[in-house]
Chain A
């Protein structure tokens, strides 16, 4: 299997894409940063290692990239987002050249930020070998230790009464400072005008008050239910440390157990929201 640099070269040489979205070495050792490579000279910047944590698919829907032939380096989890974006008409399959990464897991954080453990999402990963790609590249990684601590917290959440759960989330959301980093990083928050930015009338209070915070975070969770592909980026970038992926994973769990639906697996599968079947269960709504 060819390495990432020779793959990138051949993409430009064979004119498969106008640009490549990938990972480059960051200024500090043990970190990576997203990079957009546009020329053959720049491809040497590209790296692929277990610090390649970001989900780069969020750049696919940027205005400057829309409608262009873009190549992207994407792990299985990132490809789920690409699949979902195709299903939601945001990108066209023929416009995106997917360099799928055979991945053995990425680190939980960058150097100095819990980087010795494997990321939680990797522990339950079902797409270590990508499910949609144009070309494959292998990531050379080492065995990383780690436990799926987050999965336990879903159990904790489910054991709470409705009132306890409400109080729990109220406490968590109280820390929100409305920086909207979660929205900016999310590959599926591609709306040009977010409902949070709608004025006349303003449905969601913009000031970081208890009510406004609750409204924002719950609306975001609703908008992601049946869509979130579990890349964990929102939680990673949250400066307030709100367990955002927990609420999303809980919604995904319900989608799976009640409707047998898993987002980001098949671009042609009917989406969970917007598809109706008379056999749909309603008994979990209480």
Chain B
């Protein structure tokens, strides 16, 4: 015999103003099987919860309906209150009379009637509830961090520091990411490498960290707490265990003219190379696309000079698998390349700026290399074309950002600050030089950021012009920058020696592919999506997969580091327990009626449907049917809607519950 209690919440005025709560409490008690009903101003408050607990005990309730806000808000609160009074928490259901009723209606009489309907439906539904218990899954207390930039490094160090093993995978030959390329960092102008490289070394030396460089995540199986990751170790052509990093091979390599990725093409590197002096690990890699031996079968100079016989031309890609419980994705960003060759099909681009055509029209990362003491010019600002000192430099902001017609709609966020920094660094190095900045708005929100921009304008005399540039063209060795000063409303023409474009931050081109491997959502630009923009900003919608840094949206260093530490702490929360408890709201297959058409498998966004063989007593195969991996299932219900024979149900939302809920209307 069902003994149901109905608890009606006023939510202050939120519900109480539009719905006559005392009246529906009086009406609800007349519903079949409802033995108790009461209304209260704030059901979620301590006294409100106590009312539920007391009523369960006094009236021997075996099911509870709370008419209140969305179950997203307080379902957990009320279920816990029920559990405290000894009732199975899944015998408590919420009738949403706020978002579904009071907030969207203004007629009191009608809204009251609807609220009562919603309660009646939930009462009918709860009659088909049955006690459920949490699903418990074991947790592998090791983490995988994908991406060895500053975000990945930070997350790795945090988790390793807490005493758990971390596997760090970086696709480039060295960790360090974009931060290792930067000269100085805003707003303090401290040397980027000086603050980064100690962290890189710490990662390398940490006993809890297993580092895979020049490696990529190939495949991910499993679910929260229990991932199985396949990592492709790309062939470095070097036996890592033998190499001492002496660098002799790099010196002797006859190929000298391969464009350096680290120097953004402003300098060259050999075919066998270490990306930069402080690289971690300090082990070279052979670029097989330019190496003479790989192209012609002759040379082998590096092999001859290597005293340790560490060169291995026959090395092949190696696949290794690792078991982890949490994954942190920190794959970072790329700069939007606006030259014709690499133009993104998503946007129209900026051919009129001559990037890729004029050697002295460069992007932000190239300027970082020019300004860096470890860069191709040892920190002297020189034009890439003729190595002369530019006396007039124009910086253009928002190239591709905030431009729905030709570029991307979003703001790349860091360009206002790094352009101010660039202009400042230029003025510090070229005292008689002139720096102009074309901007749309200056977005300098952040600690010390506004002061930094003011310093560029006031102390370093950088000339800021509010307006866009329409065209750049070459004239007698100068670059004519045509634009508009929208504050004074006049056209501007500047004869520049060099132009620096603050091109938009874009997602890694392979970001969607990795997202599909991981089963996490991404937006139309390829940035990974968080579950909730405010309250769950570092979690992906797949359990146990967390996001850090610019792979989620454009971010500066402090934000990336903060996000990385937040993601690490989320992983540590997971590792705090040996077993993981999760809601039992998962799909369940009726093995008698399933015919194994596997449409459920096709529509499942979480790869939660597996194949199961049904055999008779003699071991003969009777049929192959669907089976739900309860670790992966997120309880979305798509499989239920798809199954033609209704052979798969969502526990807690089963057919009977839904049917009688509808029928009560």
**What residues of chain A have their CB less than 8 Å away from a CB belonging to chain B?**
66-67, 88-90, 190-195, 198, 200-201, 203, 223, 270-271, 273-276
Contacts and interface: CB of A to CB of B under 8 A. Distances in A.
A223 B644 contact: yes
A201 B649 CA distance: 13
Given A200-B656, A201-B655, A191 B602 contact: no
Given A90-B595, A190-B597, 9 more contacts: A191-B593, A192-B593, A195-B646, A198-B645, A200-B656, A203-B655, A273-B599, A274-B603, A274-B642
Interface string B638-652: 000010111100000
A191 B597 CA distance: 9
Instruction: With a 10 A CB-CB cut-off, give which of A198, A270, A276 has the most chain B CB atoms.
Output: A198
Contact of A192 (B595, B599, B655, B656): B595
A193 B590 CA distance: 11
A190 B623 CA distance: 13
Nearest to A278: B524
B598 A89 contact: yes
B645 A192 contact: yes
Contacts of A66: 623
Instruction: With a 10 A CB-CB cut-off, give which of B592, B623, B644 has the most chain A CB atoms.
Output: B644
B342 interface: no
Contact of A274 (B602, B646, B659): B602
Contacts of A203: 646, 655, 659
A89 B602 CA distance: 12
Contact of B644 (A67, A90, A191, A276): A191
A110 B376 CA distance: 88
B656 A191 contact: no
A273 B660 contact: no
Instruction: With a 10 A CB-CB cut-off, give which of B595, B597, B646, B660 has the most chain A CB atoms.
Output: B597
A201 B597 CA distance: 23
B599 A274 contact: yes
Given A195-B646, A274-B602, A201 B656 contact: yes
Contacts of B598: 88-89
Contact of A273 (B592, B623, B642, B659): B642
Contacts of A67: 621
Contacts of B660: 201
B563 to A, nearest CB: 27
A203 B659 CA distance: 8
List the 10 closest pairs (A to B, CB-CB), nearest first.
A274-B602, A201-B659, A193-B593, A191-B645, A88-B597, A274-B599, A223-B644, A274-B603, A195-B646, A192-B595
A113 to B, nearest CB: 32
Contacts of A271: 599, 602
Contacts of B596: 89-90
A283 B596 CA distance: 32
A194 B660 CA distance: 21
A201 B655 CA distance: 7
Contacts of B597: 88-90, 190
Nearest to A270: B602
A153 to B, nearest CB: 27
Contacts of A200: 655-656
A89 B624 contact: yes
A66 B603 CA distance: 26
Contacts of B646: 195, 198, 203
Chain A contact surface mostly: loop
Interface of B: 592-593, 595-599, 602-603, 621, 623-624, 642, 644-647, 655-656, 659-660
9 contacts: A90-B595, A90-B596, A193-B645, A195-B645, A198-B646, A200-B656, A203-B659, A271-B602, A274-B599
B647 A193 contact: yes
A274 B644 CA distance: 12
Nearest to A274: B602
Contacts of B621: 67
A144 to B, nearest CB: 36
Instruction: With a 10 A CB-CB cut-off, give which of A192, A203, A223 has the most chain B CB atoms.
Output: A192
Nearest to B647: A193
A176 to B, nearest CB: 19
B599 A190 contact: no
B642 A191 contact: no
A278 to B, nearest CB: 8
Contacts of B603: 274, 276
Contacts of A191: 593, 595, 644-645
B645 to A, nearest CB: 4
B627 to A, nearest CB: 14
Contacts of B647: 193
A255 B540 CA distance: 34
Contacts of B593: 191-193
B602 A195 contact: no
Contact of A194 (B623, B642, B645, B659): B645
Contacts of A273: 599, 602, 642
B655 A190 contact: no
A67 B644 CA distance: 22
Instruction: With a 10 A CB-CB cut-off, give which of A67, A88, A203, A270 has the most chain B CB atoms.
Output: A88
Nearest to A222: B644
A183 to B, nearest CB: 12
A102 to B, nearest CB: 31
A66 B595 CA distance: 12
Contacts of B595: 90, 190-192
Contacts of B642: 273-274
B85 to A, nearest CB: 31
A203 to B, nearest CB: 7
A90 B56 CA distance: 51
Nearest to B659: A201
Contacts of B624: 89
Contacts of A275: 602
A193 B597 CA distance: 13
Instruction: With a 10 A CB-CB cut-off, give which of B595, B642, B655 has the most chain A CB atoms.
Output: B595
Nearest to A191: B645
Nearest to A88: B597
Nearest to B663: A201
B644 A195 contact: yes
Contacts of B602: 270-271, 273-275
A273 B659 CA distance: 25
Instruction: With a 10 A CB-CB cut-off, give which of B592, B602, B660 has the most chain A CB atoms.
Output: B602
B592 A193 contact: yes
A224 B642 CA distance: 12
Nearest to A196: B645
Contacts of B655: 198, 200-201, 203
A201 B660 CA distance: 8
A193 B655 CA distance: 15
B614 to A, nearest CB: 12
A263 to B, nearest CB: 13
A66 B593 CA distance: 16
A23 B180 CA distance: 76
A276 B659 CA distance: 28
A195 B660 CA distance: 17
B513 to A, nearest CB: 15
